[in-house]
Chains A and B, each alone.
Chain A
Amino acid sequence: MSDLPKKLAGAVLLLIALALPFVLTDFWLQTGLFVMATAIGAVGLTLLVGVAGQLSLGHAAFAAIGAYVYAWTSGEATGSVAGLGLPPVLGLLLAALAAAGVGAAFSPVAGRLRGIYLGLATLGLVFVVRHLVVNLEDWTGGFVGRSVQPFAVGGFSFSNRDPDYLAIAGVEFEGLHRLWYLFLALAVAAIWLAANIRNGRTGRAWANVRDSETAAAAMGIGVAGAKRSAFVVSSGYAGLTGAMLALAYGRVAPDVFSLTASIDFLVMIVLGGLGSVAGAVVGAVFVTSLPLVLAQYSSSLPFLAAPGSGGLEASTASRIVYGLAIIAVLVFVRGGLAGLARRRLTPSAAPSPTRTPVDDGQPATVNPPRSKETTR
């Protein structure tokens, strides 16, 4: 398949995304902000899980690190919490770097363990980071969390003030509108970078390690180094996501970054198709917006009950829907939504299950024989 249709589709989607703030209500703008923030995390995770074949359940921990580092570095010191008062741009950069740094510090584990073994080890990170966040009250605000300084560049604030009134084409640009463009720029940059990493030398090395560590080593790829670098890059993406979530909420609190959040990121990339950057974005749209939309419209949907009335509540319904969605996609659709799209778009390649493992960046269908690991 040539690249042209893909690029055209990307350009059209980008134009639509640029135009959306002119028509959307505040609820949909807010939802869009969360979608873009989590999409970046999902893209980072798909590099790790889909391309490099390493499972991580610690994504929420790195997002938490990003969120709190941003809140701490860019926030002003108050009576209850410390803050450095640095420029927000620097804060955002430091958030991603700090998360990547912690990822690097975890690399003695990340470089040695493979697949689900790493997933279990990273499970511990979520609990450890949560413990630190709750206990380091002077920096994090403990259970209640702390407020987050709005993003600003050179006196232009991405909030409802400074400038107090800004209108383009008759639409007033409030904080949500301004943040939309900031997040869109970040998301486009992150997606572009991820696609390049995946298709470049680094990504091919990761995919090779995923398909067979022995073969990769024989071809001169440092296996531990490849696993480490995938983990660090993915942690950095998670850190950026955390900082963006903090900006979108205007607050950080420990409960946002629970184990459930880690699982949500995994669900996004599985629904979208492991290893597919576009799939990760589609997964993020579904997983992030489903509970928000169901909650917003629960009163007008006949099968949902109001909270506390004992019927099927919106939050319960959305969890069951997406639990079932994971199961359905994994059982019925090979390669997730991206795999489905690829087979639809290229009918000639559809019936054959044999694919060259490295060139499309997807997990190979045939696993190399390993003792101690039988799949049936």
Chain B
Amino acid sequence: MSYFLEQVLNGLSYGLVLSLIAAGFAIVFTSTGVLNFAHGSIVLLGAYLVAVLHEGIGFWPAVLVGLAGAALVGVAINAVLVRNLADKGPDTAAILMLGVDIVLLTELTRRIGNQVLTLGAPWGASVVRLGDISLPTGRVLAAGVTVVAFAGLWYLFSRTDLGVGMRAAAADGPTASLMGIRLSRTAATGWALAGVLAAVAGVFLTSFPAPGVAPTVALSALAAIPAWVLGGFDSVPGAVVGGLVIGLTSALVTGYEAQLEPFLGTGFGEVAPYVVMIVVLLVRPSGLLGSKEAVRV
């Protein structure tokens, strides 16, 4: 029983980290209509900056630089590339981001090479014990930080002019623009927010129990895509729900792999999120909490 509880708690905390990334996908998508395939590389970039800088300037300043760096890169991608696309449209923007991802990821992979960089997180490999359940401190901290981050997002989107403006711009860009909302500013804010969330997720994805910063982190950040799709393309609360579902699924499938192996084969944990995503899309094409698309004629 305690093994089961441990897997559930592990899955929930991992799911919360995924939901940070998934929320980044959702925010960029609603604020600029771009499917950000480079998001995984931005997660890696944030973690990479922390790993490189922590010895020189200390861990916490390095985290600040990592957050700022990831946010800046996102804003720059939007301002320089996305807004200057020759054929504007969601499909070409998505493919553009694939190109950005290839360049970013190749360069980061070249810099990291075969090594696994350590993050230098002060919580190290310590473990929190609750009765006979033990959880890595990093995971507990991740859950706490994520809850705070989502509380902040809720405040931003419901209580501040900027956040309400972003929602208005997402709902109807031209009308929002006529009401005096600067679309370039809401778009830049969206990309910056997504970058910050990605860097936070990057820090937690690369500290204990994960070995450290390696190029595969960008790929594991892709596991947030099912979480995002599951929750609904344009919904931040959906991203949280999706993240938790995917986190639980992969933790339980991986935790009970020995029992599941005869039917599902080895390594099903990596595939399970995508299977869940396809099944949900079959039943609800717009995700669990996403708004249905309406077409004006």
Q: Are B282 and A108 in contact (CB under 8 A)?
A: yes
**Chain B residues with CB under 8 A of A128:** 271, 274-275, 278
Whole-angstrom distance between the Cβ of A118 and the nearest chain B Cβ: 9
- B172: Cβ under 8 A from any A Cβ: yes
- A350: Cβ under 8 A from any B Cβ: no
Q: Are A326 and B98 in contact (CB under 8 A)?
A: yes
Q: Are B285 and A113 in contact (CB under 8 A)?
A: yes
Q: Are A119 and B94 in contact (CB under 8 A)?
A: yes
Chain B 242-295 interface residues, beta-carbon cutoff 8 Å to A: 265-268, 270-271, 274-275, 277-278, 281-282, 285, 291, 293-295
- A304: Cβ under 8 A from any B Cβ: no
B91-106 near A? 1/0 per residue, CB < 8 Å: 1111110111111001
- B196: Cβ under 8 A from any A Cβ: no
Assess A373 versus B277: contact at CB under 8 Å? Given A53-B91, A331-B84, A335-B87: no
Chain A 330-376 interface residues, beta-carbon cutoff 8 Å to B: 330-335, 363, 365, 367, 369-376
Whole-angstrom distance between the Cβ of A129 and the nearest chain B Cβ: 10
B59-101 near A? 1/0 per residue, CB < 8 Å: 0000000000000000000000101111111111111101111
Assess A374 versus B172: contact at CB under 8 Å? Given A113-B281, A134-B267, A326-B98: yes
Q: Are A109 and B281 in contact (CB under 8 A)?
A: yes
- A161: Cβ under 8 A from any B Cβ: no
A49–B169 CA distance with the chains assembled, in angstroms: 28
Assess A127 versus B86: contact at CB under 8 Å? Given A117-B233, A326-B102, A331-B81: no
Assess A367 versus B89: contact at CB under 8 Å? Given A131-B268, A322-B102: yes
**Chain B residues with CB under 8 A of A376:** 32-33, 83, 88, 173, 183, 187
**Chain A residues with CB under 8 A of B96:** 326-327, 330-331
**Chain B residues with CB under 8 A of A127:** 270-271, 274
Please name the residue on chain B nearest to A121 by beta carbon. Answer: B281
**Chain A residues with CB under 8 A of B94:** 55, 116, 119
Please name the residue on chain B nearest to A332 by beta carbon. Answer: B86
Please name the residue on chain A nearest to B94 by beta carbon. Answer: A116
**Chain B residues with CB under 8 A of A116:** 35, 90-91, 94
A291-305 near B? 1/0 per residue, CB < 8 Å: 000000000000000
Q: Are A326 and B95 in contact (CB under 8 A)?
A: yes
* Most chain B CB atoms below 10 A, which of A270, A334, A375: A375
Q: Are B275 and A124 in contact (CB under 8 A)?
A: yes
Q: Are A327 and B100 in contact (CB under 8 A)?
A: yes
Q: Are B85 and A330 in contact (CB under 8 A)?
A: yes
Q: Are B271 and A267 in contact (CB under 8 A)?
A: no
A305-336 near B? 1/0 per residue, CB < 8 Å: 00000101100100110111111001111110
Q: Are A323 and B90 in contact (CB under 8 A)?
A: no
- B1: Cβ under 8 A from any A Cβ: no
A343–B101 CA distance with the chains assembled, in angstroms: 30
**Chain B residues with CB under 8 A of A196:** none
Chain A 70-129 interface residues, beta-carbon cutoff 8 Å to B: 108-109, 112-113, 115-117, 119-121, 123-125, 127-128
Assess A330 versus B99: contact at CB under 8 Å? Given A117-B233, A363-B87: yes
- B296: Cβ under 8 A from any A Cβ: yes
A135 contact from B32, B85, B266, B294, Cβ within 8 A: B266
A322–B105 CA distance with the chains assembled, in angstroms: 13
B145-185 near A? 1/0 per residue, CB < 8 Å: 00000000000000000000000011111100000000100
A119–B172 CA distance with the chains assembled, in angstroms: 24
A260-295 near B? 1/0 per residue, CB < 8 Å: 000100110010001000000000000000000000
Q: Are A371 and B95 in contact (CB under 8 A)?
A: no
A375 contact from B35, B81, B90, B295, Cβ within 8 A: B90
Q: Are B91 and A124 in contact (CB under 8 A)?
A: no
Q: Are B90 and A371 in contact (CB under 8 A)?
A: no
Q: Are A263 and B102 in contact (CB under 8 A)?
A: yes
- B55: Cβ under 8 A from any A Cβ: no
- A174: Cβ under 8 A from any B Cβ: no
Given known contacts A116-B94, A120-B229, what 16 new A-B pairs fall within 8 Å (CB)? A55-B94, A123-B274, A124-B226, A124-B274, A128-B275, A135-B267, A267-B98, A324-B103, A327-B96, A327-B99, A330-B92, A363-B87, A365-B87, A370-B295, A372-B234, A374-B174
What is the interface of chain B, defined by CB distance below 8 A to chain A? Answer: 32-33, 35, 81, 83-96, 98-103, 106-107, 109-110, 113, 169-174, 183, 187, 222, 225-226, 229, 233-234, 265-268, 270-271, 274-275, 277-278, 281-282, 285, 291, 293-297
Closest 8 CB pairs of A and B: A326-B99, A135-B265, A124-B274, A323-B102, A374-B173, A323-B103, A334-B86, A131-B271
